[in-house]
Amino acid sequence: MSKVLRIDPVTRLEGHGKVTIHLDDDGNVESARFHVLEFRGFEKFCEGRMAADMPIITTKICGICPVSHHLAAAKACDALFGVQIPDAAKMLRELMHMGQIIHSHSLHFFYLTAPDFLIGPDSDPSVRNIAGIASTSPELAAKAIRLRQIGQNIIEKVAGRATNPVTAIPGGMSRPLSHEDRFHLLKETEEAISMAKLAISIGHDILEKYSDIFPRFGDIKTGYLGMVKNGNLELYDGDLRFISSDGEVIEEFRPESYLDYIDEHVESYSWMKFPYYKKMGWQNGIYRVAPLARLNVAESINTPLAREEHKNFKKLGGNKPVSGSLYYHYARLIELLYAVERARELLEDDEIVSTEVRVKVERKEGEGVGVIEAPRGVLIHHYWTDDTSRIRKANIIVATSHNNQAINLAVAQVAKEYIKNGNVTEGMLNRIEMAVRCYDPCLSCATHKVELSRKGGKSIKVN
Ligand code: MG
Ligand code: NI
């Protein structure tokens, strides 16, 4: 008789999800799926609210990624009101964003990922966690905590608060950065460089130690979507580039025209939607976002240390994109290094303390799109307003949902590779969780949406 295995909840993940694995009569994997169980309905709540309040309201979508929503919302408002914000405001927003990348990527690597590799995928789950790392390598754990704290400090000084930021407003920033805070943060980013380099060297050790599993673990065929500026890695403001599974550039477009390129599929078993590249259709048009995708679509990186490391990353794929899911971890570490270098670069520029940080905005009817590369990938906020600048409609596509189907494919591939003839161990199930962890999904973000009607899948009525 066929059997269903359940991993519920998947641990070391942001939010709640479960995996189901269907086995056939012989105990081999027939199919496997990642289910998202939270339900929130945020886009509906936004209707009727003032556009200018969106950068504050949308931070409440998620306690993990408030800065990303804050910035995407502020950018959508700038577009809606038709204003160009001052250079210093742009720099401060990008700095805040780097703070979030440093915080988020270091948390994911040291707290959620490292235990699987440094303690081992088959080790006792009671020690396969950050506490296990703290007892075996206390110095490393202390550095991990410090690096994350530096990211938080940047957010706190620039965004006003460490969580639920408040300073990005339509038209710029509500306040400049003080000289005192600038020099304090500059010192901290100097300190962070050595820690980001240490993270990279740990990454190299892991790549070497697990060199037999990295290339084939969760190796799936998809396209890739990521932001670039002049072809190079960009996380705050640029164009979106879509490449095929072979690495061919299929399209490069302005983020505000995303609706021409991205559609969303719905399945009844998950509260998370499935974006895909419209021209290729559902399934063929499945793509991945976030660190692996960004480093695959980018030709180079503008900061020196990350640029050198990106060259090593590119070698892994030859002249093709790097496709194994575990390489997300390596790509995330390269971005961590980039974020630290970029934060330092921004802080070294005297313009960062300019007091000219906002322009006036006026109420109007219209629409605006704001897109940034959140730690977990392309984040899109799109608002439509009436003539009093009240939100008539909001469309939000969060980073994690772009990777939804890729997570399913990776989970199924890993389940098939490890589970055979009904033989299941805890270590095998942990490997399936590891397939999910590569993508660092944020499930509180991903379930922000009530879908009212959508072709190509079941619709769920809420009202
Ligand atoms: Mg949405
Ligand atoms: Ni989130």
What is the whole-number distance in angstroms between the Cα of residue 443 and the centre of ligand 2? 6
Q: Which two tokens stand for residue 178?
A: 């003080």
Distances (CA, A) of 415 to 144, 151, 210, 221, 418: 31, 35, 18, 17, 5
Which of 367, 372, 374, 376 has the alpha carbon at shortest distance from 395? 367
Question: Which pairs with CB-CB distance under 8 Å and at least 24 residues apart come from 428-434?
Answer: 429/5, 429/7, 430/116, 430/121, 430/122, 430/125, 430/128, 431/121, 431/217, 432/7, 432/19, 432/21, 432/32, 433/7, 433/10, 433/11, 433/12, 433/13, 433/19, 434/116, 434/121, 434/217, 434/326
Identify which ligand lies nearest to the alpha carbon of 449: 1
What is the whole-number distance in angstroms between the Cα of residue 212 and the centre of ligand 2? 32
Using the structure block, give the residue that is written with the tokens 């479960």. Answer: 18
What is the whole-number distance in angstroms between the Cα of residue 382 and the centre of ligand 1? 9
Between strands 29-36 and 249-253, the pairing is: unpaired
Beta-bridge mates of residue 367? 384
- State the pTM of this model: 0.94
CA 392, CA 46: separation in Å to the nearest integer? 9
Between strands 3-7 and 17-23, the pairing is: antiparallel
Give the three-state DSSP class for 112.
helix
Q: Where are the strands (E) in 102-258, listed by range? A: 168-169, 172-173, 223-229, 232-233, 239-243, 249-253
Q: Architecture of domain 84-219+324-355 in CATH?
A: Orthogonal Bundle (1.10)
Q: What is the DSSP letter of 420?
A: B
What is the whole-number distance in angstroms between the Cα of residue 298 and the centre of ligand 2? 24
What is the whole-number distance in angstroms between the Cα of residue 62 and the centre of ligand 2? 5
Identify which ligand lies nearest to the alpha carbon of 448: 1
What is the whole-number distance in angstroms between the Cα of residue 371 and the centre of ligand 2? 15
Q: Where in the chain is the domain with CATH 1.10.645.10?
A: 84-219+324-355
CA 337, CA 319: separation in Å to the nearest integer? 24
Phi, psi at 457, each rounded to 5°: -170, 175
What is the whole-number distance in angstroms between the Cα of residue 395 and the centre of ligand 1? 5
Identify which ligand lies nearest to the alpha carbon of 393: 1
Identify which ligand lies nearest to the alpha carbon of 58: 2
Between strands 223-229 and 287-288, the pairing is: parallel
Which DSSP helix (H) or strand (E) runs through 368?
A: strand 366-374
Identify which ligand lies nearest to the alpha carbon of 400: 2
Q: What is the DSSP letter of 203?
A: H
Query: Which amino acid appears at position 321 of this protein?
Result: P
CA 204, CA 226: separation in Å to the nearest integer? 24
One digit per residue, the tens of pLDDT, for the chain of length 463 reads: 578 999 988 988 887 788 999 999 999 999 998 887 666 678 888 999 999 999 999 998 888 889 999 999 999 999 999 999 999 999 999 999 999 999 999 999 999 999 999 999 999 999 999 899 999 999 999 999 999 999 999 999 999 988 889 999 999 999 999 999 999 999 999 999 999 999 999 999 999 999 999 999 999 999 999 999 999 999 999 999 999 999 999 999 999 999 999 999 988 877 788 999 999 999 999 999 999 999 999 999 999 999 999 999 999 999 999 999 999 999 999 999 999 999 999 999 999 999 999 999 999 899 999 999 999 999 999 999 999 999 999 999 988 899 999 999 999 999 999 999 989 999 999 999 999 999 999 887 776 543 333 333 333 332 2
